């Protein structure tokens, strides 16, 4: 399966599960010294070839693309993807906005969420890290997230969404689904116990 098909498959899956809306969320894939990343304003549920940009994995190319050189601009979260690739061996990154992790992160002062299913413990471990609210698209968010993802498969970004990494999109998606399920279970437990 070529890179474009991989992006289209995972984008449609995210859209079908309502983990993204409109033009929210972004995807990237590392291959042979390049980052393939969704363009700013792309609809992940309806990706076309023109929505996926190839950028050399070096600082000079990153700075050029951030200034808008070379046509369409990559996702505003390019610094986040770039830093994760520089600090980990990940080949695929998904950033999306499922509602349950956002709701839970907005209603807790904790910096972790305990995994509450056996399958989530197998995929993620005992807990999910929650990173404090940081302005999206910033170097600060990129630095904090990439530091945490050296140890974790995925994170909740407070009042923002979820980011996960893997050796392929399927691994990253499994992490997203586990984080969403843990968050949903926690949310429903809070409602039932109130």
pLDDT per residue as tens digits for the range 156-184? 999 999 999 999 999 999 999 999 999 99
Q: What is the pTM of this model?
A: 0.93
Domains of the chain: 3-192 (3.40.225.10)
Token readout for 191 is 């409602």
Instruction: Specify the pLDDT at position 65.
Output: 53
Dist. CA 16–CA 1, nearest whole Å: 21
How many C-beta neighbours within 10 Å does residue 181 have?
Answer: 18
What pLDDT tens digit does each residue of the chain (194 aa) get? Answer: 588 999 999 999 999 999 998 889 999 999 988 999 999 999 999 999 999 999 988 765 555 555 444 578 899 999 999 999 999 999 999 999 999 999 999 998 899 999 999 999 999 999 999 999 999 999 999 999 999 999 999 999 999 999 999 999 999 999 999 999 999 999 999 888 87
Gap between the Cα atoms of 159 and 96, Å rounded: 12
Give SS3 for 55.
Answer: strand
Q: CA nearest 17: which of 95, 99, 77?
A: 99
The number of beta carbons lying within 10 Å of the beta carbon of residue 149 is 22
């Amino acid at each position: 399966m070529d890179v474009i098909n991989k992006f289209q498959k995972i984008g449609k899956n995210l859209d079908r599960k309502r983990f993204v809306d409109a033009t929210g969320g972004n995807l990237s894939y590392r291959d042979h010294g390049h980052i393939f990343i969704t363009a700013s304003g792309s609809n992940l549920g309806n990706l076309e070839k023109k929505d996926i940009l190839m950028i050399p994995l070096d600082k000079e190319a990153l700075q050029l693309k951030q200034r808008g050189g070379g046509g369409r601009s990559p996702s505003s979260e390019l610094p986040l993807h770039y830093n994760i690739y520089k600090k980990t061996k990940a080949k695929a990154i998904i950033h999306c906005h499922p509602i349950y992790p956002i709701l839970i992160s907005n209603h807790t002062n904790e910096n972790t969420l305990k995994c509450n299913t056996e399958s989530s413990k197998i995929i993620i471990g005992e807990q999910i890290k929650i990173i404090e609210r940081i302005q999206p698209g910033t170097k600060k968010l990129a630095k904090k997230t990439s530091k945490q993802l050296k140890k974790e498969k995925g994170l909740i970004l407070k009042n923002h969404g979820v980011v996960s990494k893997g050796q392929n999109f399927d691994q990253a998606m499994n992490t997203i689904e586990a984080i969403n399920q843990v968050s949903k279970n926690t949310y429903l437990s809070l409602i039932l116990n109130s």
